[in-house]
Amino acid sequence: MIGVYDSGVGGLSVWKELRAAMPAEDFCYVSDGAYCPYGPKDPAFVVDRAMAVSRFLISQGAEVVVVACNTATAAAISTLRSSFAIPFVGMEPALKPAALRSQSGVVGVLATAGTFKGRLYLNTLARFSGRVKVIEQVGTGLVELVERGEVAGPEAESLVGRYVRPMLEAGADHIVLGCTHYPFLTGTIARIVDGRAAIVNPAPAVARQAQRVLADLRERTGKKQPAGKPGLSTFFSTGEDTVLRQLVRQIAGPQADSYLYHSLYII
């Protein structure tokens, strides 16, 4: 079983790609909605939550944990890897592919404050800041929009436009989504971008990495990959789960009816 963890529903954008890449696998997803958003919170708090959720996922049988949260990856991935014996896959900053593909030499990054302070992002920025101009924008309020299920409409258009239009005006030809909640706003972002820039979602690359990590783990342990019927997904939420259920159904269709949902109060 693969554990997937986010501060809220945003990590479902990663679960979507994981499920597409590994349809026979079982997944256990934890939405830490009671404490969402993580972006403005102290890194020590984010580490504590990541440790607690990871312990829970391992207790449920997770062989690999995907930290499907950019802020939690930035704050906690090193601690998680040194604290537990199983592999952890985090969110890689998508600045690298954007910088390599940019023709204008300007790249916009939309992320949380916590992500911009993370070592992975800062290291990648240092490597590519000489190649491109990077425009950073904290997407204040965007996570909350997605958590309410308001991914389109006047409020979403207004807030996304406030963040994205200055990037376009500065010449950005790639907009990097630096938070797993933001792919759910892709339709709104695309309408504002109107073909002037590529929208870079790191989730497919993260799913491919998780697939490689799991394959390597099973090769070393002798476990076989499951085959046959589609895997089961189980969802736990420390907060309200209406939007979680809506997005799961949007992604999985009728198969969502076979999935399990639980409130989680114990961590």
Show which residues are catalytic: 69, 179
d(CA 222, CA 59): 21
Q: Which residue has 């990077």 as its token pair?
A: 134
At residue 68, the 3 state secondary structure works out as coil
Q: Which residue has 């896959």 as its token pair?
A: 89
Under a CB-based contact definition with an 8 Å cutoff, are residues 64 and 213 in contact? Answer: yes
Helix (H) or strand (E) holding 250: helix 242-252
d(CA 58, CA 88): 11
Amino acid identity at 267: I
d(CA 49, CA 9): 16
Q: Which residue has 């198969």 as its token pair?
A: 255
What token pair was written down for 260?
A: 């399990």
Sign of CA dihedral 50, 52, 53, 54: positive
Q: Which residue has 């997605």 as its token pair?
A: 146
222 phi, psi to nearest 5 deg: 80, 5
What token pair was written down for 60?
A: 């449920």
